[in-house]
Structure 1
Amino acid sequence: MSVSAQKVVVITGASQGIGAGLVDAYRKLGYAVVATSRGIAASEDPNVLTIQGDIADPATAERVIAAGLERFGRIDSLVNNAGIFVAKPFTEYTQEDYDAVTGVNLTGFFRITQLAIEQMLRQGGGHVVQITTSLVDHAYSAVPSVLASLTKGGLQSATKSLAIEYATRGVRSNAVALGIIKTPMHEEGFHETLAALHPMGRMGEIGDIVDAVVYLENAPFVTGEILHVDGGQNAGH
């Protein structure tokens, strides 16, 4: 397969958990991967380019897209997986909390998505996926999460807006709204409590989310979709 024919995906927050799972899944699909996070290590796979950087800094987005194009010559998909979740009572959020969460969740999405879509339009098509949370659609009193709703809710609205803006130009935009997933973010001591928040009575697995993204990647007639992978949380309690 020549480099120019091989599809290329950019994945943010790619060093562990869902992000690392996505890197593996896209490699299995035959994609080259541009993987970024603050502390990501170099890869021995010549088809995985890793770039360290804070996605809240627009300069990181510029570096990631430029390096991806230099190495692989194209960008077909972008998964905006990087995210910060801070659960606090609304009046206890600090300016630092606000800056950190909006920096990664909103600013981190904005510039890299602009640059990726510019390239996708030059190529005649592409696909953007946002990772969001079911708390946007179904707030829950036990998990105070205004900053998540403010930022990830914005991403869900932007997902639909992008889908419509580019529907006739070959660029699709979708989102996967998560329940609580077993990742290094959640200590094992809390797993039982977190499992109980889902109508199905268990936490999600990384593979559940990866499978959802891969489905969207391979669904050419699906755009503007918010796919809930949340053990039923979005439906109610």
Structure 2
Amino acid sequence: MTQITNNQTLTAIVTGASTGIGYAITKRLLEDGMNVVMNARTQVDLLSAYDELKSLGNLAYVTGDVSKKATGEELVAKAVEAFGGVDILVNNAGVFNPKSFLDTEEGELDRFFAINFKGSYFAAQAAVPEMKKRGGGSIVNIGTTLIEHAIAGFPASGAVASKAALHSLTHQLSAELGPDNIRVATIATGIIETPLHAKQGIEDANVLAGLHLLNRIGKPENMADAVAMLVKNDFITGTTLRVDGGHAAGHNYG
């Protein structure tokens, strides 16, 4: 059983947890013996995921849009009510839609920043006071390798810029919260096999395998493994961990 110094089981909050990466992270943390509060915007999907995972351990859920500050506050309140506190926050909820710079509308840009950045910012703001009460904690932000390796044929300036803000937030919070023993890290993802691609009109994400030196796309479980490592290692903070199959380092066109 994973524990902290006061002999309490760790409690994690995972946003965007009904499918894909968030689902895999929730599953892994439950398997590692943690309490988890999972979140998604669509209740039917969230309840389906909850029903599938609840037998693995102590699990609660909150339906809500993370772009609203109140949702982060509700997640923390649920964690405190159900499990006594908060030790871990995984800011996984996000939106991504490839679109050219000149075609991006104001409302679309606002949505990218509201969900990808503002949602994570205020979820962390709600969680940190509870982490301080527990003597520390861990925040993991899910970013993208595209902030350091742009692709001309894959324009996504709005979405990537909003994720870049999240990467920057990681550095700032790691400095500000380090004295409170709260660690902050970002995972920069490559292409991961999730339902998100179908929503973008990509029927088979494996066609993007060549963007990675490993010549294959990643699986949600690869991300879950990385999160599990980051929340357990108490000497990692202020860093960006690439889980991208070598995407940022180069491409495989073989």
What band does the TM-score fall into relative to the shorter chain?
Answer: over 0.9
Larger deviation: 123-132 or 158-167? 158-167
TM-score (norm 1): 0.94
Checking the alignment, whether the CA contact within 8 Å between 2:212 and 2:246 is kept in structure 1 is yes
**What corresponds to 1:166 in structure 2?**
177
Deviations, residues 176-212 of structure 1 (Å, cap 9, x unaligned): 1000100111236332421122222111111111111
Q: Which amino acid aligns with 2:40?
A: S
Residue 93 (str. 1) matches residue 104 (str. 2) = yes
Checking the alignment, whether the CA contact within 8 Å between 2:189 and 2:242 is kept in structure 1 is yes
State, as a whole percentage, how many aligned pairs show the same letter: 36
TM-score (norm 2): 0.88
Tell me by how many angstroms 1:80 deviates.
0.1
Checking the alignment, whether the CA contact within 8 Å between 2:222 and 2:243 is kept in structure 1 is yes
In 2: Cα distance, 1:157 partner to 1:57 partner: 21
Residue 179 (str. 1) matches residue 190 (str. 2) = yes
**What corresponds to 2:8 in structure 1?**
5
**What corresponds to 1:156 in structure 2?**
167
Give ranges in structure 1 of 5+ residues lacking alignment: none
In 1: Cα distance, 2:131 partner to 2:218 partner: 32
Tell me by how many angstroms 1:103 deviates.
1.3
In 2: Cα distance, 1:103 partner to 1:136 partner: 18
In 2: Cα distance, 1:97 partner to 1:105 partner: 12
In 1: Cα distance, 2:73 partner to 2:235 partner: 30
In 1: Cα distance, 2:230 partner to 2:73 partner: 26
Larger deviation: 180-189 or 206-215? 180-189
For these two proteins, the number of residue pairs brought into alignment is 236
Identify which of 15, 20, 28 aligns with 1:25.
28
**What corresponds to 2:225 in structure 1?**
211
Checking the alignment, whether the CA contact within 8 Å between 1:135 and 1:145 is kept in structure 2 is no
In 1: Cα distance, 2:32 partner to 2:236 partner: 19
Checking the alignment, whether the CA contact within 8 Å between 2:79 and 2:85 is kept in structure 1 is yes
In 1: Cα distance, 2:239 partner to 2:30 partner: 24
Residue 137 (str. 1) matches residue 140 (str. 2) = no
Give ranges in structure 2 of 5+ residues lacking alignment: none
User: 1:34-53 alignment to 2 at 5 Å?
Assistant: 34-39=37-42, 40-41=46-47, 42-43=50-51, 44-45=54-55, 47-53=58-64
Residue 228 (str. 1) matches residue 247 (str. 2) = no
SS in 2 for 1:233: coil
RMSD of equivalent CA atoms: 1.7
In 2: Cα distance, 1:110 partner to 1:136 partner: 18
Q: Which runs of 4+ in 1 moved over 2 A?
A: 42-46, 187-193
Deviations, residues 23-77 of structure 1 (Å, cap 9, x unaligned): 1100111110010111211544461101111111111111111111111111000
Tell me by how many angstroms 1:158 deviates.
0.8
Q: Which amino acid aligns with 1:201?
A: N
